[in-house]
Amino acid sequence: MLHKTCKNRYFLAQDLKEKPFIASCWHGELGMIGFAYLKLKKPCIYVIASQHFDGSIAAGLFESFGFKNIRGSSKKGGVKVLIEGLKRLKEGCDVAITPDGPKGPRHSIADGVIALAQKSGVGISACRVVCKNAWRLNTWDQFEIPKPFSEVYYYMLESVIIPKEWELSRAKEYLKMRMDSVGFEESQRGLGA
């Protein structure tokens, strides 16, 4: 219901409709990103959700969008999650992950998203939700909930393949740069942080 009151603008790369990709979204912005994915009108996405309590809440949210879940995280069931993610990508489905979840630090890149990308050879799309006016919860991720009638910008950049020969630190730095660049101009005009 909240989504319908907002002025929503979508910036979605066209290549995302044509092939499987890994959607990378900050944990604090995942509440609204499902609306952007629905605009792609793709048949199949699996969202990686932790086995923690907040992961159960996220899993329920994504199920309400019609998405499927892979439960686990780097600390609990990481190998299982990686194998399941690789399987789903090979089947032609998309996989979504929060590189800084489930416990942070905020806006950091964990190893799992890079491992999934390098082992699968599938590109990563940096995905962001930038709200002009939002409530920010007092949580590690500063989870955002747009205020009614807010302007909300949804970004899903073209997917980029992380070369298998790149060292982990280089790959993480590259993805962090892409994640941080999305919505930068809007935030400078007061539409975000």
pLDDT at 193 over 90: no
Is the link from the previous residue into 99 a cis peptide, with omega within 30 of 0? no
Instruction: Give a yes or no: residue 150 inside a domain.
Output: yes
pLDDT at 93 over 90: yes
Q: Please count the structural domains in the chain.
A: 1
Instruction: Give a yes or no: residue 98 inside a domain.
Output: yes
User: What region, left, alpha or beta, does residue 124 occupy, with left being phi > 0 and alpha being psi -120 to 50 degrees?
Assistant: beta
Cα dist from 114 to 8, 53, 97, 106, whole Å: 30, 25, 11, 17
Selection from 32-41, 99-108, 174-183 with the highest mean pLDDT: 32-41
Q: Where residue 129 falls among pLDDT bands split at 50, 70, 90? A: very high
The 3-state DSSP class for residue 78 equals: helix
The 10 Å Cβ neighbour count of residue 170 is: 13
DSSP code, position 145: E
Instruction: Give a yes or no: residue 116 inside a domain.
Output: yes
Instruction: Give a yes or no: residue 29 inside a domain.
Output: yes
Residue range 150-160, pLDDT digits in tens: 999 999 999 99
51 close to 101: Cβ distance less than 8 angstroms: no
Q: What is the mean pLDDT of the chain?
A: 91
Residue percentage of the chain with pLDDT more than 70 = 93
pLDDT at 182 over 80: no
Residues with Cβ < 8 Å from 86, sequence gap 6 or more?
116, 119, 120
129 close to 153: Cβ distance less than 8 angstroms: yes
pLDDT at 81 over 60: yes
Paired with 76 in beta bridges are none
The residue to which tokens 């747009």 are assigned: 146
Instruction: Give a yes or no: residue 54 inside a domain.
Output: yes
Instruction: Give a yes or no: residue 90 inside a domain.
Output: yes
pLDDT at 32 over 70: yes
Domain range for residue 148? 2-188
180 close to 130: Cβ distance less than 8 angstroms: no
Smallest CA-to-CA distance from 69 within 85, 86, 92 is with: 85
Instruction: Give a yes or no: residue 193 inside a domain.
Output: no
pLDDT at 46 over 70: yes
